[in-house]
Amino acid sequence: MIQTVRGTRDILPSDMPLWHRVEAVAREAFRRYGFREIRTPIFEKTELFARGVGEATDIVHKEMYTFTDRARQGSEGESLTLRPENTASVVRAYIQHKMFADKSPGELTKLYYIGPMFRRERPQAGRYRQFYQIGVEVMGSSDDAAIEAEVMEMLDWFLKELKITNTTLLINSVGEPASRAVYLETLREAIRPNLDKLCGDCHHRFETNALRVFDCKVESCQTVVATLPTITDSLDEASRQHFEQFKAHLDARGIAYTVNPRMVRGLDYYTRTAFEIVGHDGLGAQNTLVGGGRYDGLSETIGGPPTKGFGFAFGLDRMVMALSEAEAESLRAADAPSIFIVFLGEAARAHSFVVAQQLRAAGVAVAMEFEDRKMKKAMAAADKSRATYALIVGDNEVATGKYGLKNLKTGEQESLTLDEIILRLN
């Protein structure tokens, strides 16, 4: 029997109402805050991620699904990659379609996306090799910290609407590229005497981008990381001020946060503000729900004009896991037909097809099975369908045009015409 590939999974119908709910609340948040949807390809040129996300990141270095496309006549097959994230793709689309053209100063492009991403990580609960993200990107010429705070406000609304309240917002500033270069030297000096205590991956990180040692999950490395100077200590003045403004905007909106100077995020494109939202219920070790930040240099890195950007993505898989049991239960319960048609006899069966067609045309969700069964068996099927009502059609009902509508929760039964039933259900 052929099964799913390690780290991938089927999302089964019983879980779909939870996914739909998270997606619907996200789309509602995006509507309220003026974001429009974009869909970019699932695979892109490898170079986009190598340059955009950064060669030294775990994502590019170890986790990408990269393959060589078939050669075309006269040219070699190019290297393609299943997208490990979508910020680089959205910024590419922004540049490719010249979305910056005809913009007044301060005008923003606000985009959102929903879709699968691929990373070859070690699978565990809440961590998959194909997972889903919902994210937003705000691009334009302004780097006002109010833009960031408004996005945080939207996330705050979104989480409250889903009743996911037990979360912590962690914020940090990773500064400008120039101050980061100075900091990286300080960092390398501090790491050098401890190199023998670090894992092989951290040796590689030390050589390529020392900031990435903060991403290491190995416990012995964490002990060293805890002693290292943080980027926040060597922030440039402009970034420091920007961070102060960001915090003031959060305060003004009543959004609580914790500053974590060691949170540097696992992607290279961040400048200044970086943040994560960590959940505490039902998530286990993979408890980072949302990650995001500012990326003012990304456009130029991939060949575009100077552009400021800020955005986030959350893991849809994890957001679904963070829903409370009670919420999940009621979403599943609501995912059932309104009516299950129970018919008795051949004539009633033929008549039921017409009744079902009319009810469906009127917008009612109707379930029906086609086998002629005894009343008891048919009612058991109706119960199993979790429908709100059973509609009973027998010879008598066919003759009178009045049907038995039985409430399957209370057991109450009434005799009603089709029009009355439609009125009742709408």
What size, in residues, is the chain? 426
For residues 309 and 139, the answer to whether their CB atoms sit within 8 Å is yes
Return the axis-axis angle of helices 16-32 and 325-334, rounded to nearest 10°: 100
Please give the single-letter amino acid code of residue 331.
L
Q: Is 127 in the site for ligand HAM (CB under 6 A)?
A: yes
Per CB under 6 A, the list member of 211, 225, 289, 387 interacting with ligand HAM is 289
Please give the single-letter amino acid code of residue 171.
I
Per CB under 6 A, the list member of 52, 175, 291, 297 interacting with ligand HAM is 291
Residues 314-333 that bind ligand HAM (CB under 6 A): 314-315, 317-318
What is the 3-class SS of 108-163, one letter each residue? Answer: CEEEEEEEEEECCCCCECCECCEEEEEEEEEEECCCCHHHHHHHHHHHHHHHHHCC
Please identify the residue of the shown chain whose CB is closest to the bound ligand HAM.
315
d(CA 99, CA 94) in angstroms, rounded, equals 5
Least distance (Å) between residue 421 CB and ligand HAM:
45
Per CB under 6 A, the list member of 44, 58, 137, 201 interacting with ligand HAM is 137
Stretch that binds ligand HAM, among 153-161, 292-300, 362-370, 408-416 (CB under 6 A): 292-300
Stretch that binds ligand HAM, among 37-45, 96-104, 247-255, 289-297 (CB under 6 A): 289-297
Residues 242-271 that bind ligand HAM (CB under 6 A): 266-267
Q: Is 311 in the site for ligand HAM (CB under 6 A)?
A: yes
Q: Is 288 in the site for ligand HAM (CB under 6 A)?
A: yes
Helices then strands (H, E): number in the chain?
16, 16
Please give the single-letter amino acid code of residue 158.
F
Least distance (Å) between residue 88 CB and ligand HAM:
8
Stretch that binds ligand HAM, among 105-113, 149-157, 287-295, 397-405 (CB under 6 A): 287-295
By beta-carbon proximity to ligand HAM, the closer residue of 171 and 348 is 171
Q: What is the DSSP string of 165-185?
A: --EEEEEEE---HHHHHHHHH
Please give the single-letter amino acid code of residue 68.
T
By beta-carbon proximity to ligand HAM, the closer residue of 321 and 387 is 321
By beta-carbon proximity to ligand HAM, the closer residue of 249 and 294 is 294
d(CA 83, CA 65) in angstroms, rounded, equals 8
CA 420 to chain centre: 42
Least distance (Å) between residue 111 CB and ligand HAM:
10
Per CB under 6 A, the list member of 33, 35, 113, 131 interacting with ligand HAM is 131
Q: 197: which residues sit within 8 A by CB, 6+ positions away?
A: 220, 221, 223, 224
d(CA 256, CA 87) in angstroms, rounded, equals 26
Stretch that binds ligand HAM, among 21-29, 182-190, 197-205, 283-291 (CB under 6 A): 283-291
Q: Is 121 in the site for ligand HAM (CB under 6 A)?
A: yes
For residues 85 and 312, the answer to whether their CB atoms sit within 8 Å is no
Stretch that binds ligand HAM, among 175-183, 213-221, 253-261, 308-316 (CB under 6 A): 308-316
Per-residue contact track with ligand HAM, 200 to 219, x per CB under 6 A? --------------------
Q: What is the DSSP string of 187-206?
A: HHHHHGGGGGGS-HHHHHHH
For residues 411 and 389, the answer to whether their CB atoms sit within 8 Å is no
Per CB under 6 A, the list member of 151, 313, 320, 328 interacting with ligand HAM is 313
Least distance (Å) between residue 187 CB and ligand HAM:
21
Q: Is 312 in the site for ligand HAM (CB under 6 A)?
A: yes
Q: Is 118 in the site for ligand HAM (CB under 6 A)?
A: no
By beta-carbon proximity to ligand HAM, the closer residue of 85 and 236 is 85
Kindly report the backbone phi and psi dihedral angles of residue 289, in degrees, each rounded to the nearest multiple of 5, phi listed first. Answer: -85, -45
Q: Is 296 in the site for ligand HAM (CB under 6 A)?
A: no
For residues 246 and 273, the answer to whether their CB atoms sit within 8 Å is yes
CA 347 to chain centre: 50
Where on the chain is the footprint of ligand HAM (CB under 6 A)? 85, 87, 119, 121, 127-128, 131, 133, 135, 137, 266-267, 288-293, 295, 311-315, 317-318
